[in-house]
Amino acid sequence: MPGAAVPTFGGLVEVSVGSATDLGHHRRVNEDSLLVCPHVYVVADGMGGHAAGDQASAILVEEMSRLAAVAVEAADVSEVLQQANVRIRALADGGAGTTVTAAIGVEHQGAPYWLVANLGDSRTYQLSEGRLEQVSVDHSVVQELLDRGVLDAAGARRHPQRHVITRAVGTPEAVEPDYWLLPVLDGGRLVLCSDGLTGEVEDAQMADVLLAHPDPQQAADALVAMALDGGGRDNVTVVVIDARVRDGGSALQDTLPRPASGAS
């Protein structure tokens, strides 16, 4: 139910979500998957022969959906990703994999946070006070070149190895996601997307579109449309999450048992 506001984080935060995905102009299968369910939001970009990429990303979001029923910490996410890894490795030719970028609503000492998890080159961004910032850091060959200062953002978008990622779910290597814990900002917006968006649209253009569309569904649709206008060379997927921190957040704190120190 795009755009519908639902209470989450134990009632601390009201979230409105929009999402959109498209095959693009050049692919025969949409290997991206997305998940929008109470306090768990995911974009996954599958890859692999024999059309296993779409199965890989579907398995990933199916496993991640288990997190919707529980109070989550990073260890729970890691466990779910390990389970997804086992299942994806068992697919037909063993060559399938998927990225994951996820934002999960968690409560820490009575305050709401986003736990962001990332593997690969799908991304999580945060828009607050009119500024768009990339939260996740790609696991990619191009990111390594950026880190070494031998490439800039424009060059990265055109680099022949721009699709080569260095970490994913479904590989023989250990699954090692990066995590970030962000305070949920009242009026803040998160954007999760596959590289089908960021390969076609610059961050500044993304920011303009996000600021022009207060409705999260309209924002998601507009970003996908912009990626298609930009060439649509890849599957493109976008999830836009708007958060309102409720006044009741503090009331809930009052109903929770306080630590003995009372120092929270």
Which residues are near Mn ion by CB under 5 A? 45, 194-196, 234
* CB 124, min distance to Mn ion, A: 15
* CB 57, min distance to Mn ion, A: 10
Q: How many CA atoms lie within 13 A of 107 on its CB side?
A: 16
* CB 173, min distance to Mn ion, A: 20
Nearer to Mn ion, 83 or 194 (CB): 194
Q: How many CA atoms lie within 13 A of 135 on its CB side?
A: 26
Name residue, tokens 């306080």. Answer: 258
Cβ 119 vs Cβ 200: under 8 Å: no
- Least Cα distance to 55 among 8, 96, 100, 24 occurs for 96
CA distances from 112 to 12, 23, 212, 264 (A): 7, 35, 27, 14
Nearer to Mn ion, 64 or 197 (CB): 197
Nearer to Mn ion, 227 or 245 (CB): 227
Nearer to Mn ion, 29 or 70 (CB): 29
* CB 99, min distance to Mn ion, A: 8
* CB 113, min distance to Mn ion, A: 28
Backbone angles phi, psi at 179, to 5 degrees: -125, 145
Nearer to Mn ion, 106 or 119 (CB): 119
Sorted by sequence, the CB contacts under 8 Å of residue 23 that are 6+ apart come out as: 29, 30, 235
